[in-house]
Amino acid sequence: MTTSIPGDLVELRDAMRDFATARDWDRFHSPKNLAAALSVEAAELLEHFQWLTEQESRELDAAKRAAVAHELADVLLYLVRLADRLDVDLLDAARRKLVLNAEKYPVEKARGSARKYTEL
């Protein structure tokens, strides 16, 4: 079986739909289950950085980078699937969130600061 490689989020969403449908997994892909799976994959991503120094986390060797890339892909795939099941346009939601973040973190107050917007 040849799999087409998705080129954008819509194609990725559609590929994920086809993947799940072909395996009869839609019944398992409730928002709750997908959110839990997303959290597990994010934890698996974090595990690669556990105990590393800040500098070590910036200088991963090729094998570790490849493993991290796989976990990043898992996070993205579950996120796209969850958004699809909830009928959320991820790019639209991200654009809207960037606008909100810009309002909460104006450059003149937030530049160089790691403080939360409520503390600026």
pLDDT value for 3: 58
CATH of 9-88, one of 1.10.287.1080, 1.20.1290.10, 3.40.605.10, 3.90.480.10: 1.10.287.1080
Q: Is the pLDDT of residue 2 over 60?
A: no
Q: Considering the chain, tell me which residue range(s) the CATH 1.10.287.1080 domain(s) occupy.
A: 9-88
pLDDT value for 96: 96
pLDDT per residue as tens digits for the range 76-117: 999 999 999 999 999 999 999 999 999 999 999 999 999 998
Q: How many CB atoms lie within 10 A of CB 53?
A: 9
pLDDT value for 1: 44
Contacts of 78 (CB under 8 A, 6+ apart): 34, 37, 38, 41
How far is it, in rounded angstroms, from Cα 41 to Cα 60?
19
| Mean pLDDT for all residues in the chain | 94
How far is it, in rounded angstroms, from Cα 59 to Cα 101?
29
**92: region left, alpha or beta (phi > 0 left; psi from -120 to 50 alpha):** alpha
Confidence of residue 5 (pLDDT cuts 50, 70, 90): low
Confidence of residue 4 (pLDDT cuts 50, 70, 90): low
